[in-house]
Structure 1
């Protein structure tokens, strides 16, 4: 069993600010950093650091060597990466003093993923393998359908939300990983319990994972609902919190953990990530997560 993450890769440019810039305003940043990110890359790094064998497919530009190197240093297989004519995707991140962020993404090479490229990658995977996709690349619906036709298990993190999302073949999805904003967009509901119920009504056979910020996470599988809270840590940077959770959760499920165990491990990993600066750089190793859980339960 293998995990394929067909996902985005971005160069993140982070500006630490006192407060987010407003319309017509010019402000000075307190600090600046550049590192590797993108929802796809972050989630691949998280899965690899959780101990999962993961293959990343996606497009980088001629300027994307650092992105490939980051994946390889984290233990991610990169033989299916391809180089596009466009420059690599990048993100402009404002990070305030409370660890909150505002992000502007430029797709770049992430929007050069073709159906032909997807076909070439999928031929190396088979029934029972996992496909993880986000919504930062092109031709996501095509990937879903053709992966499902091969008998792969499709996991979808529908971020960012786009108008086209309503036309996606979401009945192909085996597991949804969503936050409250994404859940509201998919169901029209605002209350998190109503969001979960709405998702279950629409996709009754799918595993549903709904992260609810400081309230933790809910997961529904069939008629069983699981809940796990957050761990109390100092918040430094929340940029990779969701991606860390997603990557760790899928890795734990693929490794055979129960849903309750996977929620616990992924929540701990996500909590550790927010206590550190950066995107992919903040994602903890599995041994760190285990040590953190031992301290919290001792």
Structure 2
């Protein structure tokens, strides 16, 4: 089986700061780094490091060839990443001493993924494969519709959160992944709980309180693994990528949830995004401690 990810590719500029800046405040950083990021790229790397065969569908500018090369180095199939006449997307990330973050996104090439590229990629998918996307690229609705018609299992990670984006794809979604705040916003806007939208499986992440999976009228929880967090950037993407990879490998949802929770716990102890996502050896080592 395989995972097809229509996802963003960003250059992440991360700044360590004493605290997250407030309106009008000028704040000196204590460190700065550039790395590979974007919710899509993060999920692709996480799924690949969880031993899934991942095809990334996306776009970069001429300034982003390094990002495509790095995805390939991390085990992601990059043949469906186009180079377009727009700058590569980037994110400005502030991370405070407690590991909390604040992010500003410039979408760039992510909003110009060629439609024919998406269709060309999905024409090579097989029924039973998994298609995943987020709200950081163009073409999600048509891609979800195509994937569903071909018998792929569709996953929508509802971030960055926008009610209209979720509403547009909810009838095409088999698995919805969102955090607790997003679930509350969605429920308020739709007039019903996210679990009543007719989606087969809803995965709700709750930070330090763990995660819950709702499926077939039932639900099960997993507690967060207590660790000393230094950077929460990319933790949700790591969770999603490992969870999807677990499902793709035939794991039941509970087992995939356990795997994803371990990966996210390791991720928050590291500074960075895609470049520091753990692999299965890291997971196994953590189990032995």
Q: Do residues 43 (structure 1) and 38 (structure 2) align? A: no
Q: Which residue number corresponds to residue 198 of structure 2?
A: 203
Q: Which residue number corresponds to residue 192 of structure 1?
A: none
- Report the number of matched residues: 288
**Once the two structures are superposed, what CA deviation does each residue of 1:29-79 show, in whole Å capped at 9, x if it has no partner?**
111011000000000000010111111110011011221122111111111
Contact map agreement 2:238 2:260 (CA 8 A) in 1: yes
Runs (5+) with no aligned partner, structure 2:
none
CA distance in 1, matches of 2:20, 2:103: 11
CA distance in 2, matches of 1:276, 1:293: 18
TM-score by length of 1: 0.93
Q: How does 1:1-298 map to 2 (within 5 A)?
A: 1-162=1-162, 164-165=164-165, 167-188=167-188, 198-204=193-199, 206-295=200-289
Deviation of 1:163 after TM superposition, in Å, equals 5.1
Runs (5+) with no aligned partner, structure 1:
190-194
CA distance in 2, matches of 1:293, 1:224: 28
Deviates most, 245-254 or 118-127: 118-127
Contact map agreement 1:130 1:153 (CA 8 A) in 2: yes
- For residues 171 and 278 of structure 1, do their structure 2 counterparts lie closer, same or farther at Cα, with a shift above 3 Å needed? same
Runs of 4 or more off by more than 2 Å in structure 1?
Answer: 114-117
Contact map agreement 1:240 1:282 (CA 8 A) in 2: no
CA distance in 1, matches of 2:122, 2:106: 26
**Once the two structures are superposed, what CA deviation does each residue of 1:185-236 show, in whole Å capped at 9, x if it has no partner?**
22118xxxxx9x81221125x1110001110000011022110011111111
* RMSD of Structure 2 on Structure 1 (CA): 1.5
CA distance in 2, matches of 1:232, 1:103: 25
- For residues 213 and 24 of structure 1, do their structure 2 counterparts lie closer, same or farther at Cα, with a shift above 3 Å needed? same
CA distance in 1, matches of 2:166, 2:174: 17
Deviation of 1:89 after TM superposition, in Å, equals 0.4
CA distance in 1, matches of 2:185, 2:54: 29
User: Per the alignment, in what secondary structure is the counterpart of residue 148 of structure 2?
Assistant: helix
